[in-house]
Amino acid sequence: MKATLTKLLKENRSFLLFLVLMFAFRSSFADWNSVPTGSMKPTIIEGDRILVNKLAYDFKLPFTNVSLQRLSEPQRGDIVVFNSAVANKRLVKRLIGLPGDVVALHDNQLFINSEPAQYSEMQPDGDSLIATEQIAGFQHRVRVATGPISASHSFGPVTVPADHYLMLGDNRDNSADSRFIGFVPRTELVGRSQTVVLSFDYDDYYLPRSDRFLHSL
């Protein structure tokens, strides 16, 4: 039995080395991530497969969360993939609050360091509105409810601690983000996403969406 196993390993060592290198690459350099929910709509939709740049912030020891070298600092507005210990799963959210920022949400209006967000290009989307949110030097689209005010529409002001970040989903009324899981430590960050690799339409027999192929976020 041992001789047979040794023989198999020798005969397939090139393939095994390829597998090890491939998984190491996916672990430390780049990978793709499936998005099964609409918590980042309208930016990311259900069925998107997004490219994750794992060298965006840190070079990590393969197959671990151990940072060997800080490469750059996360920026406000980044779409961040992270492994949440609180939620016990991988999440994709937008980085809103940097360490030291004072962040608040009042009836779905965002405030960063007392600066209120401005909203424009509002378009109805069922019982919600899609709008461009502009604040603190960046802008992006968000989806906010037009119905009754709920507890998730307001929080803070809160101060983001050192080496932590405040994350919110672009779909503000349907996102389990820092309002529920708290601040996200840097050690949980996996990488940054800026591109949809491909997307499958769950409502149309999982057919690929041609307009989402290599779509920029």
What is the 3 state secondary structure string of 10-54? HHCHHHHHHHHHHHHHHHHCEEEEECCCCCCCCCCCCCEEEEEEC
Through-space distance between the first and last CA atoms of the chain, rounded to whole angstroms? 52
Task: Assess contact for 108 and 144: CB atoms under 8 A.
Answer: yes
C-alpha dihedral (5, 6, 7, 9), degrees to nearest 10: 90
Asked if 39 is an active-site residue, the reply is yes
Q: How many CB atoms lie within 10 A of CB 97?
A: 26
Distance CA 118, CA 99 (A): 22
From 28, 39, 84, 193, the catalytic residue: 39
From 84, 93, 175, 178, the catalytic residue: 93
What residues are annotated to the active site? 39, 93
